């Protein structure tokens, strides 16, 4: 009997808040995210993060931490976009600040969409492309259509 590995999909929402944490605690939080999702190449960044924690008392500074953190954000973003097949998933600091984790780049989707509607009945017959529905409350749903049929929903943000 063979067992199939289950892929972990990105969890959208607040992963951790960097406020009131030291750089070491933030590195530990990043390491936890890397170990949980295990994107290809994560072990190298985990080892570098652990080395930073050990070397923090020796004077490894903010430049190293900043570059390492950016590498983690990039790796987790690339992984999420590939696994979820959604180029609008991002890992890193939220645009409005305060938290670090996975979020959806709604502004990018609104700029890239082929058609913006306030009601799905506004989609032309036989349409193919990306549609963003923005309702009167400002909720955004991005969907891919092919020949007038909805293939899949990329995201829905309230």
* Residue 19 pLDDT level (bands cut at 50, 70, 90): confident
Boundaries of every domain in the chain? 23-104, 106-157
Q: Return all residues near 5 (Cβ < 8 A) that are at least 6 apart.
A: none
For the cut 80, the answer to whether the pLDDT of residue 57 exceeds it is no
For the cut 60, the answer to whether the pLDDT of residue 1 exceeds it is no
Number of Cα atoms under 13 Å in the Cβ half of residue 82: 10
Taking a C-beta distance cutoff of 8 angstroms, is the pair 143, 133 a contact? Answer: yes
* CA–CA distance, 137 with 149 (Å, rounded to integer): 25
Mean pLDDT, residues 3-32 taken together:
80
Q: What is the pLDDT of residue 10?
A: 81
Predicted TM-score (pTM) of this structure: 0.84
């Amino acid at each position: 009997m063979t067992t199939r590995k289950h892929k972990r999909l990105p969890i959208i929402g607040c992963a951790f808040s960097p406020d009131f944490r030291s750089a070491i605690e933030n590195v530990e939080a990043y390491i936890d995210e890397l170990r949980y999702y295990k994107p290809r190449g994560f072990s190298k960044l985990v080892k570098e993060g652990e080395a930073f924690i050990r070397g923090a008392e020796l004077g490894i500074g903010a430049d190293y931490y900043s570059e390492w953190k950016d590498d983690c954000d990039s790796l987790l973003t690339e992984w999420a976009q590939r696994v979820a097949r959604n180029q609008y998933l991002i890992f890193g600091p939220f645009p409005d600040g305060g938290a670090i984790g996975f979020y959806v780049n709604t502004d990018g989707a609104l700029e890239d969409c082929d058609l913006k509607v306030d009601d799905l009945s506004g989609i032309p017959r036989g349409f193919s492309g990306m549609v963003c529905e923005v309702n009167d409350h400002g909720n955004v749903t991005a969907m891919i259509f092919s020949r007038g049929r909805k293939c899949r929903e990329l995201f829905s943000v309230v």
